[in-house]
Structure formats: C-alpha cells, structure tokens
Amino acid sequence: MEYVEPTGSLSLLWLLIALPLAGAAVLLLAGRFANAWGHLLGCATVGIAFVLGVVQFFALRGADDGAREVSQHLFTFIDVGGLKVDAGLLYDPLSAVFVLLITGVGFLIHVYSIGYMSHDEGRRRFFGFLNLFVAAMLLLVLGNSFVALYVGWEGVGLASYLLIAFWYTRPEAATAAKKAFIMNRVGDVGLALGIFLLFAKLGDTSFEGVFSSVDKLSSTTVTILALLLLLGACGKSGQFPLQAWLPDAMAGPTPVSALIHAATMVTAGVYLIARAHPIYDLSETGQTVVCVIGALTLLIGCIIGCAKDDIKKVLAYSTVSQIGYMFLAVGLGGEAYALGIIHLLAHGFFKAGLFLGAGSVMHGMNDQVDIRRFGGLAKYMPITATTFGLGFLAIIGIPPLSGFFSKDPIIEHAFDRPGWSGWLFGTVALVGAGLTAFYMTRLFVLTFLGKPRWTTDEEGGAPHPHESPLSMTVPMILLAIGSVAGGFLLTQGDRTSNWLHPVLVGEGAEAPEAAHKLEPVVISGLVILVVLIGVALAFLIFRRGTARAEQPANQLVVAARRNLYADAFNEAVFMRPGQWLTRALVYVDSRGVDGLVNGLSAAVGGGSGRLRRLQTGFVRSYALTMLGGAVVVLASLLVVRLG
C-alpha cells in the first residue's frame, strides 16, 4: 500500500475531526452562556467540516489514480514494550465518501434540530452531544489503524448513550440508553479481541501493516479474526443477534434517530467489514457467515416491521433490514463490496429524510407515534407528505428512485453467488423487497391517506396538525432530492464502483465476471413485481384505516409484535442468569466475606469489652488475680515435673 504525503487542503485532515470536537467542548463547558448561540455554533462546526470535506474530496479526485491514498501522522499514541501505535489519519476513496455522508447529512440534521428542539431547555447540551457524535464517527472512518478506529468506535458508543438518554427523566429513554450501551459493549468485546489477536500474531495494528501481512496467517486464525470483527460490526449496526437495542433507541429525540440510522452509528459495521476486506477475502467461512447474518437480519427486520404501529419503530426495523442488505453485499465480496457502500450512501439520504418526516409528523401531532391514530395528514402537512412519500418510494425501489439503483444490484449479486447458497440468499433478498414494500406502504397510507383517526379531547387531547417551520422542512426537501437522484448519480457510469475499486478490489485488479443464474433484466422484473404486489396488498388492506387497538392475531403476527421474542430470549439466556449470578455473589459477599470480617471484629470487640470489666480499680481484686495466676503457674509446673 503506497501512501502520498498530504499537501494543500489534504494537510488539514485533522481539522475535520477537530471542528466538531471543539464545538462539543465549547457547548458542554460554556454552560448557560451558550444557550442563545450554542445551536448556531453546533451547526457551523459541522457545516464548515462538510465544506472542507468537499474541497478535500475534489483534491483527492484530482490526484493520479495511484496517488489517492493520503496518510497523515499526528503523534505517537501508544509506545509500550513492543507495542507502538501512531495516531494517524487515512484518507482514501472509501473514507472520503464516508466523510461527505457524515458531515453532509449530519449538517442537515443539525439544522433540522434548530426547529425541532427550539422549545427544549437542554438544546445547547443536545447540540454538544451531536457534535461529539459527528467527531467520533469521523475519527472512526479516518483512523489509519484498528486502534484509532476503536477509539472512534467507543466515542460513538458514548455519544449515542448520551443522546438516547437525552431526556433522562423519562424511564423509557434511560432504559433504552442502558440497553444500547450494554449490547454494544458485547459487540465491542469481539472487536477488542480481534485487535488483540492482530497484535499477538502480527505485532501491528495499522491497516497498512495488517493488510500487507495477513496472508501469512493460518486460515483458522484469519477466520477467527473475521468472526471477531463481525461480532463488533453486529453490535454497532444492530444485526442479529444484537439487533434488539436499535428500535428501543427511538426513545431519544427524532434527530438522534436520523443521525444514528442514516449517517453514523449503524453504518460503522458495514464500514468495518469493507475496510477489513483483505481479511474477509481470505476466509470463505467468514464471508459466508457475514452473508447469513445479513440475510437473516434482513428477514427479521422486514417481518417485525410489518407488525409495528409506532411510526419510528417501523422505520427502525426498516433500517435493520436495509443494513442487512448492506451486510449481504459486503459478505458476497468482490464487486459487491462497492454495492454495499452505494446502498449505504443512498440509504443515508432516504432514511434521514424518512426520520425527519416522522419527526415533523410528531411535531404536528402532539408527539404521538401510533400510526393507527393518524390518517389524512397529507392535507395538513403537504411538504412533509411529499418528502416522506419520495423517501418511501426510494426505499422500496420504485424506478427511477435511489433504491432501484442501489438495492437491485445487491439482489442480482446474491443470486450470482455460486451453488445453492446463491438461490437461498437471492430469494431472501427478493422476499425482503416485497415485505419492505408492504410495511412501508402500510406506514405511508395509515399516516397520510384516508380519513383522520386522531385522538379526541377525551382521549388525552385532540392534535392540530400543521406544517413544520422552514428550519425543518428545508432539510427534508434537500434529503428528498437526494432520495430521488442519489441512486442514479452514484451508479451512473459505475462512477462510485470505479471510485472505490482501488480500495475494495485492488489497483489494476480485474474482478471475475459473474456467472448469472438469472439475467439481470429478469431479476429486475421479479423485484418490481414483488414490490408492486406488496404495495397493492398494503393499499387494499389499509386504505380505509385500521383498528385503533391491537386485535387478536395468529402466532406469526403475535411473534412479530413481540420482536420475534428477541427480548424474551435475551432476558431468559443473559439477563436472568446474570441477575441470579449477581444475587449469589452478593449473598456470598455479604454473608461470607463480609460475614467473616464482621464476625472477627465482633469477636475481638466483645472479648475486649469483657476484659475491660476486669479493670475495676480495686487493689484486692488485682491481688486476688495475681494469686490466682501464681497458683495456675505453680500447678502447671507440678504437673510437668510429676508427669
């Protein structure tokens, strides 16, 4: 791997991270002095970082094909024994597109938050946490080693905990934040063990050092590495079996949901596998497991999404399924790595737009989230309905919107996988497209079409739906434009695939031509057919609304409403045994360790108290004691001599 020394604007890579990090520091340390202008500072830092990212992107694009990898050394981070880790940045085509996504979509979410959080007393603190989130994510994608990536990885985890629990006085928000924090730590253990294994086997954790010598490792070690990194990716991206935290994270403010689901946290797992592709390329087992996890999570997200009535949770499970498509793509390897990244970029536009649209609906409906009590909102919120509708059409893959260009190629490559697994993964991806169309149509129809089913004053207050202010609608409009045109612009002329080719496939390397089981035109036709069936079914069933309370249902629907019993499984297998173990340890500690110490102290204290009573102050008592002692001594001597 040949790096180019940073010059010009590329010498300011560190500023991409420093700007939002400095904004977070000022907002969190300035206290109430920043209440009046803190939100503007928060937006400005990310906005400037986006402009800088654009300038640096074009600087990289203007470089020669073989000179599009820039390394910048900052300082020595760890120098202990045989371990030396330099803090440095890597800017290449992969990290460049992530920088644009994080700062661009992140900036729009910041602007939206000005209106959404305008009445919140903690707005300055909120923008401080948002800035911290963006800085940590930028460090994650710009770090030049697994250790630097891990620092950003944990920073994102901390920031997400703070943001999900932003309304910490609400029990559901505090619980959701703890759940997200703990489940992410489970995944982080896998990533940490993978980094330890890399150092133990290779003595290096830098991308350059690891990727240049990973082929010297045994196939078993490489597979273990791939699985450990995958465990970390599953935790951060909400993939099976660590997906349960992601829908609960909806308890945080809606802009947080948009930022986590669209531009930052959940994309980290996809980035990790794509960045570590030299490891996965050497492990067929690792790639297969990634595909299985992606396909399984895709189906889980789609099935549960069909049964949810909370507008944000439907979108959350749609994220779970769409990230499943991305995992499936990066698990397929080769040219499909780029397809996963393209779907990630397109998804960033329409998912951010959908979440911001959901926040706009909640803004006009007194923070209600039950789609069974919406209906007819298109008449009262036309901009929200239009932008949300474009995002809806983009995610289900209606031509010529983004999902059509980014998701269909993944399905094609899934079918192209050799052997029976191609049929299996391709069919799952195809079924997922139909289910996505069904639950997203259900969401749109119940929210914006039909007759109003709003709550009344007797049921807790009648809402007065209205369009959101410009600070909220403008970001939604811009994201809707991205939802419409993003997929075409990203795939036209294979521009994004060609851009990422040197990083994900190799400079000058030719990817093998796929042997199609089904021609691409046939697969596109099948995808459109299942999508139209899903749309038609949902429209026919829900066009007149739905029951306002949960109705009796078959076992599959009940299971979907209960998240396919994932929470029950986690409670039965992990939480309850953990509680029992904790109680047992507390018992042993209180009755065993503490009991022994407390018993000894009580014995010493009691004995000393009784001895103290002998100190009466009367001489005759002391003389009698001395006489008694002398008799005991004499008796002892006689016993010894006579014995």
**Within a domain: 611:** yes
3-state secondary structure of 84: strand
Rounded to whole angstroms, the Cα distance separating 132 from 22 reads: 9
**Within a domain: 116:** no
Measured in Å, how far apart are the chain's first and last C-alpha atoms? 92
Among candidates 193, 354, 221, 196, which has minimal Cα distance to 279? 221
Which pLDDT tens digit goes with each residue over 228-262?
999 999 999 988 888 888 888 888 899 998 888 88
**Within a domain: 588:** yes
DSSP state of 145: B
CB 206 within 8 A of CB 266: no
Q: What is the chain's mean pLDDT, rounded?
A: 90
Most confident of 102-106, 120-124, 609-613, 622-626: 102-106
Which pLDDT tens digit goes with each residue over 584-629?
999 988 888 888 888 888 899 888 888 877 777 788 888 888 889 9
Query: Residues 281, 285, 288, CA angle at the centre, nearest 5°?
Result: 85
Band (510; pLDDT cuts 50, 70, 90): low
Counting the structural domains of the chain, the total is 1
**Within a domain: 592:** yes
Q: Which residues lie closer than 8 Å to 126 by C-beta, 6 or more apart?
A: 113, 117, 120, 163, 166, 253
> What pLDDT score does 543 carry?
92
> What pLDDT score does 325 carry?
95
> What pLDDT score does 513 carry?
64
For residue 392 the two structure tokens come to 């809806």
Q: Amino acid identity of 82?
A: G
Band (514; pLDDT cuts 50, 70, 90): low
Beta strands 70-80 and 83-91, pairing class: antiparallel
Among candidates 328, 245, 234, which has minimal Cα distance to 272? 234
**Within a domain: 619:** yes
**Within a domain: 445:** no
> Which residue range is the domain that position 613 belongs to?
571-642
Q: Is residue 9 classed exposed, middle or buried when 0-12, 13-18 and 19+ CB atoms within 10 A define those classes?
A: middle
Beta bridge partners of 85: 78
> For residues 325 and 509, which has the higher predicted lDDT (pLDDT)?
325
**pTM (2 d.p.):** 0.89
Rounded to whole angstroms, the Cα distance separating 498 from 510 reads: 11
What percent of the chain has a predicted confidence (pLDDT) above 70?
98
**Within a domain: 586:** yes
**Within a domain: 633:** yes
Among candidates 259, 242, 432, which has minimal Cα distance to 329? 432
Which pLDDT tens digit goes with each residue over 355-407?
999 999 999 998 899 999 999 999 999 999 999 999 999 999 999 999 999 99
